[in-house]
Amino acid sequence: MSAPLEGKRTLVTGASRGIGRGIAVAFARAGADVALGYRRDQSAADEVIAEIEGLGRKAVALAADVRDLDAMRALVQGSVDALGGLDVVVANAGVASRFQPLHEVDPGYWQRVIDVDLGGVFNTLHAALPVLREQRSGVILSISSVAADACGANGAPYNAAKAGVNALTQTVARENAELGIRANVIAPGFIATDMGEALLEAHGELILKSIPLGRAGTPQDIGELAVYLASEAGAWISGQVFRIDGGALGASARRVV
């Protein structure tokens, strides 16, 4: 039996670490070739390439800032050139927000978070959609957060940006369904990554105690869901937000992520 993504050409932004790396490696394990978008950490990207090539799949790393639409167009074209096409696009790159009440948030910092976490998804999808629309097929996955629903105090820039990602991706799903393009959102809860360490510093064990399944999520957990949604097993799924948080959002009235 073939792997669920056998022969698929995939692009993952923010793929040099954390959730993006988890998705990229999961795609390779599922049979896909992977273009890795990263901003500045070439050595980390090279490590992911080596891991993917060790699985027998093709990988290429391409540097681009998701805030720059022209750079994202070049990233998409570079991915098409390197892989021979593009079937799956994952808009994952993002930054965390400082823990501040809204009235203390510097407007410039607000704009930076919005530009990366929401604008970066817009730029990724804007650059990739012409390719997918021309071939009348493809899968888009945007990485959001349960923060879009939890709306925890002191995280306004991040919460607002991720809520925008949900709405943007669901809109794209409806606009492109008739062309055979599916678009969904993965909205993780607390994941054990470098970014997650900031949450642990701010909230300590309170976060882990709020997760009914008793542990933090891993990039591999997110990768497995991404594989399912990108594969034929998810062929009738589009315009949905998949919250993956160990049961935390529905189980607790006290929101910390």
| Among 219, 240, 241, 233, residue whose Cα is nearest residue 6 | 233
Catalytic residues: 158
Taking the C-alpha atoms of residue 70 and residue 127, their distance in angstroms, rounded to an integer, is 8
Give DSSP secondary structure letters for 46-79. HHHHHHHHHTT--EEEEE--TT-HHHHHHHHHHH
Tokens 């823990």 found at? 99
Residues in the chain: 257
| Among 160, 138, 137, 134, residue whose Cα is nearest residue 147 | 160
Phi/psi of residue 101, nearest 5 degrees: -70, 155
Query: Burial code of 168-179, b = ≥16 C-beta within 10 A, e = fewer?
Result: bbbebbeebeee
Give DSSP secondary structure letters for 102-128. GGG--HHHHHHHIIIIIHHHHHHHHHH
State the SS3 of 179-222. HCEEEEEEEECCECCHHHHHHHHHHCHHHHHCCCCCCCECHHHH
Q: What share of the chain is helix, strand, coil (3-state, %, to 5)?
A: 50, 15, 30
